[in-house]
Amino acid sequence: MTALNTQKTEQQAPFKEYPNNVLYRYFDQSSGQQFELRKLDMEQHLDLFHHWHNQKYVYEFWELNQSKEELQDYLTQLFQQDFVEPVIGYIDDTPCAYFEIYWAYYDHIAPYCDATLYDRGYHLLIGDKRFLGHHNTTLWLNLVNDFIFKDEPRTQRIVGEPRADNSGLLKYLEHTSFVKTKEFDFPHKRAALLECYREQFYREVTL
């Protein structure tokens, strides 16, 4: 572990521990569904992770349509990094979504957003088509933001960097507190920088 990562470990709160790897739980009154964020478990979730990433509407943007062995190596590398947490989203005990929640200061997005120590970010996909749609997608965005802000009170900003042509995701921004602030070029894609600030989020979003 580098000195920089040691500093982060000392200053930043770890992900909270709950029974059965549950990180966050929310009951949606409008749909009568329970949403949960759980830590990804390699043995439990690898087959599902492989299936999700080999669907065209997913790999069009994630570009991880690989073999199970390759995706196992991908997840193993994530587990070895202390600035990112692979998370599975559940609705009514059914796994349906995937999130990579990270500390932006240590991620490749850092120089593009002037990341500070407690900024966070995440990547997401909804892998089960039965759970696609406006309500679930918008709610997931707001719930993950709520989890991140509650997990670390010093986090004031959440960032994202989806592909700039990912209109399927970007159309939901008006129903969240994310704002697209610019576009920029990663080596592998043209990206949109999204930002969500704590004060604005809790002023605009009621959960």
Residue bearing the bigger pLDDT, 1 or 40: 40
Q: Is the pLDDT of residue 47 over 60?
A: yes
Which residue, 129, 132, 106, is CA-closest to 119? Answer: 106
Model confidence over 161-205: pLDDT tens digits? 988 988 888 888 888 999 999 999 988 889 999 999 999 999 999
pTM score, two decimals? 0.88
161 is catalytic: yes
- The stretches of the chain forming alpha helices (DSSP H) are 3-11, 42-53, 56-62, 68-79, 110-113, 134-151, 167-170, 198-204
Domain ranges within the chain, ordered by starting residue? 3-204
Residues 133-166: tens digit of each pLDDT: 999 999 999 999 999 999 999 999 999 998 898 8
- Active-site residue identified among 36, 85, 161, 195: 161
Pick from 124, 123, 118: which is nearest to 106 by CA? 118
- The CATH homologous superfamily to which domain 3-204 belongs is Gcn5-related N-acetyltransferase (GNAT) (3.40.630.30)
